[in-house]
Structure 1
């Protein structure tokens, strides 16, 4: 296993510095994967509807709005959608840095990203409804996923549970079913 240097973990990050705070969590996930301590991690930075979460203060810390909840509800006001977009971009850039780090780490005949499946969901609109919003699936090339494509579905064509079923199957922990899935998402299988 790779040796982990204590100074590579930024445990002193606080919510007043959202970039450092987010990076610290991504660093811990990276180290867990790199050392093969686990191959499963869940990281929910926050939620737009969660006015009580630590992440609710993040937009204010980077000069966009006092809080994430207010930022979402202000999307319909003048300049609001641009601020929400800038915050989504901030989150996506942090996520992209995590993916780049996984991709730059060799593991076996590929990279750590090739052997990891990462699902990223963006924030949602001022209505807080969790449907018809973009998701990014990264990694997993070594697990039989194909990438470099943009896929668009509606609820009647494809259920989100089909994506979950496919991911679980690629990880070898399922038989192609999850909740109300109707089958695997064959468009993403190499």
Structure 2
């Protein structure tokens, strides 16, 4: 059993980030919220009906563009490569800028045992003319520079795709192998006892000092020992905090649905145990053509059940209904994961989702059109109060690229929430935009 790390400097406040990618785009006719603004001013779209009970924890951002002006054959690779970098991939060359998840992880320093975690469900994305590293990865290490004004720059350059772990057993071993629940709890208790024993050795001398100091020095000593007592109370609060238990070791995972469910559980526990504070997850690779015939509505219709091939429905009624069912199923799985995060207790007795921001999107907007404009982002969680939820924030779309707002602009604001100041990001990020409050 693990006890989450106490929120103590320099690792406080706890601010987690999870980027969740699902493949082959949205069913956009039913993925546009009704209304704009907060609370009752907007309604979830039909594709997100399974998240109605989570609406108070969501922010829907629409109207943004990511590489639309740079469209060419290879939309899936362009969208996936730019998903967290806001930069168009370079054909058959690992050349881009650092992805936002890695920037956030660097800003977290040594908080959490693992710098960042990359997970997925398979490695099957074909090259799509750009190279498989752009269809199978969303997390990238690239150049970084600190500017004279204290801001950071992340220029394009030789970059490394971090890959992802797709095997639940190996993911479990990396996070929990060698863990002894009873030993971990005993070790934590011993650490607390040792810390308190040091304080106990100091505190008895307070009375002796008070009789030998003048009034001004006695006030300083009193302030010192008041601070020591506050530290003692903090240590006691760690004892009273929630504990987290690793999920059972995976032994009988035979299907994609079982794999996905286990990955959801392991990500939640990795956050709750403070093993890591940054995760990227790919439900499937860009261009994935996984057979989704296990979805009841898809099976009932028969015929082609390929995730990617069906997305090219061209308005054909039977295929479009099938694509709708596939996308609806994906949203239901994501809803279940978010619900799980909302039910777990964090170190501060708040829901785990409260100190987390989950960023959700696909590599393209409409699965059939393959467009990169008006590309929606769904956010879940409050990031410790930095994000005001239950809102639909819509930016106006425009044919004039000098007026359009981009993923790069979005990421400038996102990074600022994690203490990273940037003046530009990716191909088109030129200014911070207001979506968080």
TM-score range, shorter chain: 0.7 to 0.9
Q: Does the CA-based 8 Å contact 1:168-1:176 persist in structure 2?
A: no
Give a deviation string over 1:24-63, Cα, whole Å, max 9, x none: 1111211111111111111111245234xxxx22x22325
User: Which has the larger Rg?
Assistant: 2
From 390, 405, 430, the equivalent of 1:182 is: 430
Matches within 5 A, 1:161-180: 161-175=408-422, 177-179=424-426, 180=428
Does the alignment pair 1:147 with 2:389?
yes
The residue number in structure 1 matching 2:332 is 93
Matches within 5 A, 1:44-123: 44-47=282-285, 49-51=287-289, 56-57=290-291, 59-63=292-296, 64=298, 65-74=304-313, 76-107=315-346, 108=348, 110-122=350-362
Taking the aligned partners of 2:270 and 2:334, their CA distance within structure 1 comes to 16
Structure 2: 5+ residue runs without aligned partners? 4-242, 299-303
Distance 1:75 1:19, change over 3 A: farther
Q: How many residues align?
A: 181
Taking the aligned partners of 1:130 and 1:169, their CA distance within structure 2 comes to 24
Taking the aligned partners of 2:378 and 2:404, their CA distance within structure 1 comes to 18
Secondary structure at 2:394's aligned position in 1? Answer: coil
The residue number in structure 1 matching 2:404 is 157
Taking the aligned partners of 1:163 and 1:143, their CA distance within structure 2 comes to 18
The residue number in structure 1 matching 2:375 is 133
Distance 1:111 1:185, change over 3 A: farther
Q: Does the CA-based 8 Å contact 1:75-1:84 persist in structure 2?
A: no
Taking the aligned partners of 1:85 and 1:68, their CA distance within structure 2 comes to 11
Report the aligned-residue RMSD.
2.4
Does the alignment pair 1:31 with 2:269?
yes
- Quick check: which one's strand share is greater? 2
Deviation at 1:136, TM superposition (A): 0.5
